[in-house]
Amino acid sequence: MQSTDSRRTFLRNTGILIAGAITPVKAFAAPRATPAPSPDQVLKLMLEGNQRFASGKSTHPRRTPSDFKPLAAGQSPIACIVTCSDSRVTPEILFDLGIGELFVVRVAGNYVDGAGAAVKGTVEYAIAELGVSLVMILGHSQCGAVKAAIEHIHDNDALPGAINDLVNAIKPAVLASEDQPGDKLENAIRANVKRGADRLDDLEPIVAPAVKAGKLKIVGGVYELATGKVQML
């Protein structure tokens, strides 16, 4: 369980720690009785957690069997993360958060445009029903799905099964970054994240109005596997 002074101070300052009766993390993870933290507050909390993780100082909050029981009646995550299915990318670990704090959508290549209702509808659910104030599109270095899109960008070949549709959905990001200087894969990974964030920014009828009203923020980042750091775009 995490009980650091910095996190307790953060929660007290944002009005989420209630009379000291519950631990700071439970204030986020249990069904919410107070207003959700602002998008900037949530992002700050997540990036602080990533800094702890990358420096080897993770606190590993809320990961014991006893932490699951209070959430049986409901959930109130603070953010929705759209990220890759890659086994090396686990948002709760790399942001040093616990059970019930992140609503995670995982799809190979972390793409949004072309992913259909399964992805976009899940994000809308997180906003409309769970009240998250931050959605992050999180790509990662050495992404195999983006690599495949680069390798087959100008080919007329078809990959087997639905893999072909997946790779084709990522190809527009590759095309958008083709003429940029620097590493082709890194550029395409970033372009793919940006494309997803832009799509959500304009997504009606739930996401776009919440963004325009200042109640929701859509952000993009790339997780570097070798260092453990998340770089915001």
- Ordered by where they begin, the domains of the chain are 5-232 (3.40.1050.10)
> Alpha-carbon distance 184 to 187, whole Å?
5
Residues of the chain with pLDDT under 50: 1-30
Q: pLDDT tens across 107-128, in order?
A: 999 999 999 999 999 999 999 9
Averaged confidence pLDDT in the chain: 87
> Alpha-carbon distance 64 to 23, whole Å?
14
* 186, 146 Cβ separation under 8 angstroms: no
In sign, the C-alpha dihedral spanning 66, 70, 72, 77 is negative
Q: Can you give the pTM of this predicted structure? A: 0.84
Residue 219, helix vs strand vs coil? strand
